[in-house]
Amino acid sequence: MKSSALDAPGANGPLTLSGPVPLPERILHTGDQISAPQATDKTVTPVADDLDFDDIILVFPPESGLKPLYVMYRSPRNMPGTVSGKGQNVGNNWMGGASTGDGAPVPSQIADKLRGKTFGSFDSFRRAFWKAVADDSALSKQFSEADINQMKAGRAPTADFLESVGKRVKIELHHEKEISQGGAVMDVDNIKALTPKNHIETHKGK
């Protein structure tokens, strides 16, 4: 007996649709027996303890229809501020204190020169600070010609080799009361000059 399309089930009656055949939620591997890594829902990346983040990306649930949002926090270091503080009298070996204890204080003559001035950021203040040191006849005598040229360009002088750590080879300005704890950014009485080695040791002790 011959068959035709009219003999197919449902040709002369209502066609019943049972819906698609459900598929596995995830296909991990097909083919030979070579093991394949399975997908994971989360990726965890170790982060160093000393990294400081000032921005984030907010990712919303897919069903919200919202695009990821980039958010940046404004650090007090990058905000305008006015210099305050009196500084301290320093001797003929000002940088000698940078490698020990709390570090070398801001000289009073530098405080007098910068006090009341407003800078757009701490980086701008730091450049003005080292330029002022280079222009001071008493303080500049304590530095080499190479360091004076560096300071005239707004860059810190070089620390002694034994006080350097890796690529950190310059004298660094340290806030005694951390900015994150409410310390004043441009108060010279809250700022000390430290070698990289002493700076690292100072933070270890906190």
Task: Let me know if 44 is exposed, middle or buried by CB neighbors in 10 A (0-12, 13-18, 19+).
Answer: exposed
- Would residue 127 show up in a list of annotated catalytic residues for this protein? no
Q: Which of 16, 37, 163, 56 is nearest to 103 (CA)?
A: 163
- Would residue 77 show up in a list of annotated catalytic residues for this protein? yes
Tokens 């980086």 identify what position? Answer: 123
Q: Which of 26, 115, 126, 203 is catalytic?
A: 203
Q: Which of 153, 146, 200 is nearest to 172 (CA)?
A: 200
Backbone angles phi, psi at 130, to 5 degrees: -70, -30
Backbone angles phi, psi at 198, to 5 degrees: -70, -35
- Would residue 29 show up in a list of annotated catalytic residues for this protein? no
Query: What residues contact 159, with CB distance under 8 A and at least 6 apart?
Result: 98, 99, 169, 170, 171, 195, 196, 197
Q: Which of 77, 115, 127, 168 is catalytic?
A: 77
Extract the tokens encoding 25: 């939620």
Helix, strand, or coil here: 168?
Answer: strand
Q: Which of 26, 126, 155, 199 is catalytic?
A: 199
Radius of gyration of the chain (CA): 33
Q: Which residues are catalytic?
A: 77, 174-175, 199, 203
